[in-house]
Structure 1
Amino acid sequence: MQPNSVVFTPILIVSILFFCWSLYRRLGLVALGRPGGGGVEILRGVRELLLYAFAQKRVVSRPFGVNHLVIFWSFVILFAANIDFMLAGAFPSLGLERLPPFLARPFLGLCDLASLATLGAVIVALVRRTTAPPYPGGKSLEAYAILILIALHMLGFFGVNGAAIALERQPAAPFMPVSSLLAVGLDTLAPEEIEILGLAAWWTHAAALLLFITVLIPYSKHLHIVTAMVNCFLRHPGPSVPAAEAFAEGNTFGAGEVTRLSRRDLLDTFACAKCGRCQEVCPAAATGKPLNPRRVVEDIRLNLLANGALLKRGGVATVPLVGGDGEGSVADDAVWSCTSCGACREACPVFVEHLPKLVGMRRHLVEMEAKFPEELLNLFENVEGRSNPWGIAPTERTKWTSHLDVKPFEAGKTEYLLYVGCAGSFDSRSRQVTVALAQILDRAGVSWGILGKDEKCCGDSLRRLGNEYVFDRMARENVALFRERGVTRVITQCPHCFTTLRNDYRQYGAELEVIPHAEFLQGLIAEGRLPLEGGFAGLGTVVFHDSCYLGRHNGVYGAPREVIRRVTGAPPAELERNREKSFCCGAGGGRMWMEERSGSRINHNRIDEALRVSPDTICVSCPYCMTMLEDGLKDRQAGQTRVRDIAEVVAEGLRKEAT
């Protein structure tokens, strides 16, 4: 039943060489990307590898992920058995039989059970792929080929060992229940027939294994077996912060071709397992926009494969990365549909980063081609000219203080800078939140001040929309202003300001302690500086909507809920999609300043979900969310429901306690 090693050995050698050459040829294209990404902490990387690659924490966060975990760990167990299989085929004197029986036999029994588990998991996967594919188009030939080949590999294993047991050549038979059961069915055959069947099973097993090595791993999504582990090891657990650019004459900006993406970006395209989880949670995809995050990653990979050889030789790409038609090119409309909510990043089991790629493409369109949606022209001009999206005179920034005694920030005298932000200064509805927050700070005896007319926009929308040049200028001016005024501790009421000052400005040397108002209010309440008894019922039924930039991007989930609980005496009700699975309001990534011209409105999707809970009050912690949800309530004619920022909730609770 053992094949002729003279025949198998050259096949094995050619297969291994072809595998190595294919990996070098494909993964070598990653080197075309730009270096960067910083160093890697080895211990942290190992932890992430064990937790997310081997324990598959994100994979099993959904029920069907357990099926994938079974296949993965079965293959881990069978890896040594497959190495033994290939070596024994080339060198018959080698094999597990040379190991002590107390090691070899239990191990073969474990392989027998692992093969059965894999076969069962493959059958489940085939049924699911056929009846309920993970995404439209999920019934691909590639996916079926992978599953069928895995099944043939397992059946070959059982055939080889079942025949060996029937011929009494497998001493580990008592440890191999599945192969032994098959052997019982072979007892009616003559030894010569069993020998032929065993040899056929051996070659089936070998063919499936070699096809995996030569075709499926290097040339299908199964390459993620290798690259996903690297991705997990290199994972950056912090918020997604776009890379800074060096502005000098002759430089190219943005990502107009794959060589302008980072090496990590290109590695992502090979790590993607096409599971479809990103597109399932994407608010743009869910509301019929042209953006599909899975397809974006796939198109970058196809572009790299189409242009890679030419680019390596110093040639010019023939397939455009942005704005072309067909596979390998990302449509302009898809690039502009992203709300930068981070849901795709949160859902991806192997930590593919979608947002940096889209921001890079936006930069190319804005800075190299001046090609962007028409409504953004006013935004760019307003922020560049008057440092706010509305284009209102900077002297109007302090209009909200007309009935308050607000002091300017003074270095050495004032502890906290209240960074009001553009919405809190100029938007009539958000000004109410600013006033409420100011009154709370005074009530708690906090030492705080403002920059007044000298405050500038943080530049969040500019950066996420790709106008890095103006953002870069504003960030440098803001950091210089903070240093000049001696600002070290900052309170923000807008999560977009919060994440920009805390995370993005670090690239410019800013050393700030930035605290979102949700956490600051929670701290004041916990310290007893705000007299709240927890019995305020004026809000009715309360639900809380998580801001993407406070929650997913910065991990702040508990603070706003605790604030609401301390005011009302009960935790808020939860929307179906909450915390890290929250659904975007539709305003992030600069979409606050753009119209939704395709599909349904994202804020309608969220409001419809909220209204199913029949709330009296929807609490928010972001001015963008407030605007979008209030607009959604008006469109749905749900005037009985109000939107309140958590600062307003605290202020109302304090007023109730005072009466």
Structure 2
Amino acid sequence: MQQPLFTALLIASFTLFCFSCYRRLSLVSVGSEIDRFDQPLSRLKEMLVYAIGQRRVVRTAFGVNHGVIFWGFLVLALANAEFLVSGVFPGLSFAHLPEPLRNTLYFAFDICSLATLIAVVLAAVRRIVNPPYAEARTFEAFFILAMIALLMLAYFGMHAAEIALGQLPAGSAFPISGLLARVLVSTPLAGALPALPETFWWIHALVLLGFLNFLPFSKHLHILTAIPNVFLRNLDRPNSQQREVFADGNSYGANSADQMSWKDLLDSFSCTECGRCQKVCPAASTGKSLNPRLVVHALKENLLERRWPGSAGQPAALIGEGRGQSAAASLWSCTSCGACMEACPVFIEHLPKVVKMRRHLVQMEAEFPEELLNFFENIEQRSNPWGMAPSERVKWASQLEIPAFVAGSTEYLLFVGCSGAFDARNKQVTVALTKVLDAAGVSYGILGKEEKCCGESVRRLGNEYLFEMMALQSVEQFRSKGVTKVITQCPHCYNTLKNDFRDYGLSVEVVHHSELIKELLDRKALQVRGVQELGDVVLHDSCYLGRHNGVYEAPRATVLQLTGAPVRELERNRENAFCCGAGGGRMWLEEHEGTPINKNRVQEALAKDPDTICVACPFCMTMFEDGLKDHADATAQVKDIAEIVALGLEGAKA
């Protein structure tokens, strides 16, 4: 009776499982095209390291616990496959394998079952006592954990009973089940031993098939999609955005699922809802309404409203206040720092989704914060955020002899940037940088009043049409001037010229001033003395220099050489650094929710009791200077890396 009944259940369960998976995952096809099948060998390597190896998962202490569950499942998948096959074809069983191989498999299954059971219990306790976020205590989460635990217990019960009845060898092949068998024969259940193997077998079978069919309807669908999602990840750093095609009749940005890419939609099914993204998000962790986890979750809910690809009826818009929607106000809180993407174990791409929805708001609805109206107008009319006349761009150099860039006789273009040219504090950094370049004999020149804003903030704020015009003008200018090498002091300019402008045909060597300074020091082109008056130095990692472009060592090495001591690292540093709050166009917006992000970061820096806070970004400079105004008793000064080196030059001359 067992074999025919189980065969029928298995066929029905697998049919329903396949149908449910198809019904859900086929929705991914409504997304727009994006190429994620290039470099297959690199993708395979990344999948093995990050999906199978769980590299990002085990970064945190409790991530190891999830890793145990995952790796246990990989091993036990073989045991469960044998369980299902032998239920239909009893002759196809590991019991018929050669004894050494058979016993090795049995030992592995026994140990992995115990490890998985312990990990599941710990996961349940953690979710009760200290959940990753408040909403993590859900019925579904505990139900899934209970099903996994029941599978392990049924496995032990079945094998312990078989060992007690002499149907399986009790030796070292089943260390845990063998121990339970000895316990079992001394309990009241000993009298029911003949019925226990089949009872536990059926419990295991029903829970396994039930779990299989619950999977497509739960967040644990990520068990099926996470590994492919890692394979299909963006192999580049998240430092650029997809270019739009402007033509009559086109819509721009995204306010419906079909305006997202199919990878965006696959992301929504791959989210494990672990909460790591919201924990590191500057907006979420300072009381803003933006939560990157909920942005992805809302996309999934919105997509599921379709039920079938091409189904009748229009689902709700992605932007709004209802179920399956993200509030417009929350989208403007994103600093585009990329911390969410750096933390995500399955490489979900939160930032591009936010930018796409911003693009829709700006370009299709003309709906954006009021402060941005003047910002966009100033950029469009005067090519700088303050609306200053182009002639004002060179006032910082009025007392200096700064050469103009001339192709053929000038090696580098010094791209000063808007902050370096117009902001009073950052003008000092520009002057310091030119002193460093002059001292090292670097051949450089500037565009002067002809220099234009790179448009980085414009693009991250969603005004892609304006950015397109700016990018095309700048690329044409660079080409006509014969520019091949560029120095920037602003990581946002650096990222735009190096990464964004590639899609517009610009191919030049772009170097951030922190990188060039380190190179000059390394080859002894600069004669500097030790700078002791800086005292203890802490270093803030700019998101667009570090996380987006991987430049971490250059400023650290420079501080070490100038002061003779390594920087004091902030609690959140390098790829885990916390944003200053100015990225994603937030430099030009006020914060109306929660705690200002820059105040959070300043407090973290002051906790290290520094004498100097070192930055390598004009936006970071502004945010730290503003944040320190709330700490009248603080004596720390903020210095750019170029200013620190300029101090060393002055000492060397003396």
User: Shorter-chain TM-score category?
Assistant: over 0.9
Show the counterpart of 1:119.
117
Contact 1:436 1:647 in 2 (8 A): yes
Question: The residue matched to 1:362 in structure 2 has which SS?
Answer: helix
Question: The residue matched to 1:635 in structure 2 has which SS?
Answer: coil
Show the counterpart of 2:625.
630
- Aligned runs of 1:20-31 on 2, under 5 Å? 20-31=18-29
| Distance (Å, rounded) in 2 between the aligned partners of 1:190 and 1:235 | 52
2:113 is the alignment partner of 1:93? no
Show the counterpart of 1:644.
639
**AA paired with 1:300?**
L
The counterpart of 2:145, out of the listed 140, 144, 147, is: 147
Show the counterpart of 1:598.
593
What is the CA-CA distance between 1:520 and the residue it aligns to? Answer: 0.5
Contact 1:461 1:590 in 2 (8 A): yes
2:541 is the alignment partner of 1:546? yes
What is the CA-CA distance between 1:237 and the residue it aligns to? Answer: 3.5
What is the CA-CA distance between 1:39 and the residue it aligns to? Answer: 4.0
2:171 is the alignment partner of 1:184? no
- Aligned runs of 1:148-297 on 2, under 5 Å? 148-171=146-169, 173-188=171-186, 193-216=192-215, 218-240=216-238, 241-297=240-296
What is the CA-CA distance between 1:197 and the residue it aligns to? Answer: 2.0
Question: The residue matched to 1:274 in structure 2 has which SS?
Answer: coil
What is the CA-CA distance between 1:220 and the residue it aligns to? Answer: 1.4
What is the CA-CA distance between 1:171 and the residue it aligns to? Answer: 3.2
What is the CA-CA distance between 1:111 and the residue it aligns to? Answer: 0.3
The counterpart of 1:434, out of the listed 430, 433, 450, is: 430
Question: The residue matched to 2:116 in structure 1 has which SS?
Answer: helix
Contact 1:158 1:182 in 2 (8 A): yes
What is the CA-CA distance between 1:616 and the residue it aligns to? Answer: 1.3
**AA paired with 2:225?**
T
Contact 1:106 1:172 in 2 (8 A): no
What is the CA-CA distance between 1:381 and the residue it aligns to? Answer: 0.4
| Distance (Å, rounded) in 2 between the aligned partners of 1:86 and 1:212 | 14
Contact 1:45 1:234 in 2 (8 A): yes
What is the CA-CA distance between 1:169 and the residue it aligns to? Answer: 0.8
**AA paired with 1:581?**
N
Question: The residue matched to 2:538 in structure 1 has which SS?
Answer: strand
| Distance (Å, rounded) in 1 between the aligned partners of 2:101 and 2:170 | 10
C-alpha spacing 1:37/1:430, structure 2 compared with 1 (3 Å): farther
Show the counterpart of 2:509.
513
- Aligned runs of 1:400-439 on 2, under 5 Å? 400-439=396-435
What is the CA-CA distance between 1:542 and the residue it aligns to? Answer: 1.0
The counterpart of 2:317, out of the listed 309, 317, 320, is: 320
Show the counterpart of 1:46.
44
| Distance (Å, rounded) in 1 between the aligned partners of 2:514 and 2:386 | 26
Contact 1:167 1:191 in 2 (8 A): no
Question: The residue matched to 2:532 in structure 1 has which SS?
Answer: coil
Show the counterpart of 1:621.
616
What is the CA-CA distance between 1:38 and the residue it aligns to? Answer: 4.9
Contact 1:414 1:448 in 2 (8 A): yes
Question: The residue matched to 2:336 in structure 1 has which SS?
Answer: coil
The counterpart of 2:576, out of the listed 581, 588, 601, is: 581
Show the counterpart of 1:571.
566
Question: The residue matched to 1:275 in structure 2 has which SS?
Answer: coil
C-alpha spacing 1:94/1:192, structure 2 compared with 1 (3 Å): farther
C-alpha spacing 1:16/1:401, structure 2 compared with 1 (3 Å): same
Question: What count of residue pairs does the alignment treat as equivalent?
Answer: 652
Single out whichever of 597-606 and 206-215 deviates more from structure 2: 206-215
2:458 is the alignment partner of 1:462? yes
Deviation track 1:159-208 (CA, whole Å, cap 9, x = no partner) reads 11111111111136441011111211232568872122222211111112
Question: The residue matched to 1:307 in structure 2 has which SS?
Answer: coil
**AA paired with 1:528?**
K
Identical-pair percentage: 55
What is the CA-CA distance between 1:89 and the residue it aligns to? Answer: 1.0
Show the counterpart of 1:493.
489
| Distance (Å, rounded) in 1 between the aligned partners of 2:311 and 2:299 | 19
**AA paired with 1:275?**
C
Deviation track 1:346-381 (CA, whole Å, cap 9, x = no partner) reads 111111110000000000000000000000000100
Contact 1:105 1:171 in 2 (8 A): no
**AA paired with 2:302?**
N
Contact 1:59 1:65 in 2 (8 A): yes
Structure 2: give runs of 5+ residues left out of the alignment.
none
| Distance (Å, rounded) in 2 between the aligned partners of 1:627 and 1:95 | 69
C-alpha spacing 1:207/1:190, structure 2 compared with 1 (3 Å): closer
Contact 1:244 1:507 in 2 (8 A): yes
Question: The residue matched to 2:486 in structure 1 has which SS?
Answer: strand
| Distance (Å, rounded) in 2 between the aligned partners of 1:37 and 1:198 | 51
**AA paired with 1:101?**
E
| Distance (Å, rounded) in 2 between the aligned partners of 1:379 and 1:50 | 46
| Distance (Å, rounded) in 2 between the aligned partners of 1:440 and 1:532 | 10
Contact 1:40 1:234 in 2 (8 A): no
Contact 1:603 1:628 in 2 (8 A): yes
| Distance (Å, rounded) in 2 between the aligned partners of 1:359 and 1:524 | 37
Contact 1:532 1:566 in 2 (8 A): no
Show the counterpart of 1:555.
550
TM-score (norm. length: structure 1): 0.97
2:532 is the alignment partner of 1:537? yes
Question: The residue matched to 2:408 in structure 1 has which SS?
Answer: coil
Contact 1:165 1:173 in 2 (8 A): no
What is the CA-CA distance between 1:98 and the residue it aligns to? Answer: 2.1
| Distance (Å, rounded) in 2 between the aligned partners of 1:204 and 1:38 | 42
**AA paired with 1:615?**
P
**AA paired with 1:643?**
V
**AA paired with 2:282?**
P
What is the CA-CA distance between 1:8 and the residue it aligns to? Answer: 0.5
| Distance (Å, rounded) in 1 between the aligned partners of 2:189 and 2:307 | 56
C-alpha spacing 1:425/1:85, structure 2 compared with 1 (3 Å): same
| Distance (Å, rounded) in 2 between the aligned partners of 1:126 and 1:213 | 20
Show the counterpart of 1:72.
70
Contact 2:170 2:178 in 1 (8 A): no
Deviation track 1:478-511 (CA, whole Å, cap 9, x = no partner) reads 1111111111111000000001111111111110
Single out whichever of 30-39 and 411-420 deviates more from structure 2: 30-39
**AA paired with 2:415?**
Y
Deviation track 1:495-541 (CA, whole Å, cap 9, x = no partner) reads 000011111111111101110111000000111011124x2111122
| Distance (Å, rounded) in 2 between the aligned partners of 1:281 and 1:572 | 23
**AA paired with 1:179?**
S
**AA paired with 2:648?**
G
Contact 1:109 1:172 in 2 (8 A): no
Question: The residue matched to 1:405 in structure 2 has which SS?
Answer: coil
Single out whichever of 173-182 and 275-284 deviates more from structure 2: 173-182
TM-score (norm. length: structure 2): 0.98
| Distance (Å, rounded) in 2 between the aligned partners of 1:638 and 1:581 | 29
Question: The residue matched to 1:175 in structure 2 has which SS?
Answer: coil
What is the CA-CA distance between 1:88 and the residue it aligns to? Answer: 1.1
Single out whichever of 150-159 and 104-113 deviates more from structure 2: 104-113
**AA paired with 1:221?**
K
Structure 1: give runs of 5+ residues left out of the alignment.
none
C-alpha spacing 1:38/1:130, structure 2 compared with 1 (3 Å): closer
**AA paired with 2:543?**
C
Contact 1:33 1:259 in 2 (8 A): yes
**AA paired with 1:246?**
V
Question: The residue matched to 2:639 in structure 1 has which SS?
Answer: strand
| Distance (Å, rounded) in 2 between the aligned partners of 1:619 and 1:274 | 36
| Distance (Å, rounded) in 1 between the aligned partners of 2:74 and 2:361 | 45
